[in-house]
């Protein structure tokens, strides 16, 4: 059974082969934003694969288009909803910048 270590929380979980990174996180109470419900229609579930990138299924054109919208892209960036787990992974969930810093805009 593959393992995923989620960073920065440093939580490691066993997951069934073939599950997506997003479903593995949600099944284990690890928060990953997923505004579109995991349908490759947004970039909110952007993650960075620190180990095991080469074991993941290939990036589709739809995923590539959505990744273009993500902040903080890296060479090993993926959408958690599109990655099927087949081997051990280390996955970094990037810190999201707040949309509003709390200061008045008026």
User: Given the structure tokens 């200061």, which residue do they identify?
Assistant: 103
Q: Return per-residue pLDDT of the chain as tens, 106 residues.
A: 999 999 999 999 999 999 999 999 999 999 999 999 999 999 999 999 999 999 999 999 999 999 999 999 999 999 999 999 999 999 999 987 655 555 655 4
Phi, then psi, of 79 in degrees rounded to 5: -95, 125
Q: What structural domains does the chain harbor?
A: 3-92 (3.10.20.30)
d(CA 79, CA 49) in angstroms, rounded, equals 10
Instruction: Note the pTM of the prediction, 2 decimals.
Output: 0.89
Name beta bridge partners: 18.
none
For residue 62, the model assigns a pLDDT of 96
Q: Is 105 exposed, middle or buried (0-12, 13-18, 19+ CB in 10 A)?
A: exposed
């Amino acid at each position: 059974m593959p393992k995923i270590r989620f960073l920065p929380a440093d939580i490691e979980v066993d997951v069934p082969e073939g599950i997506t990174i997003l479903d593995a996180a949600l099944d284990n109470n690890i928060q990953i934003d997923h505004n579109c419900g995991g349908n490759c229609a947004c970039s909110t579930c952007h993650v960075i694969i620190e180990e095991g990138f080469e074991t993941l299924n290939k990036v589709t054109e739809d995923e590539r288009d959505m990744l273009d919208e993500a902040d903080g892209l890296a060479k090993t960036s993926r959408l958690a909803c599109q990655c099927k787990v087949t081997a051990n992974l280390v996955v970094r969930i990037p810190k999201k910048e707040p949309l509003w810093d709390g200061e008045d805009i008026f």
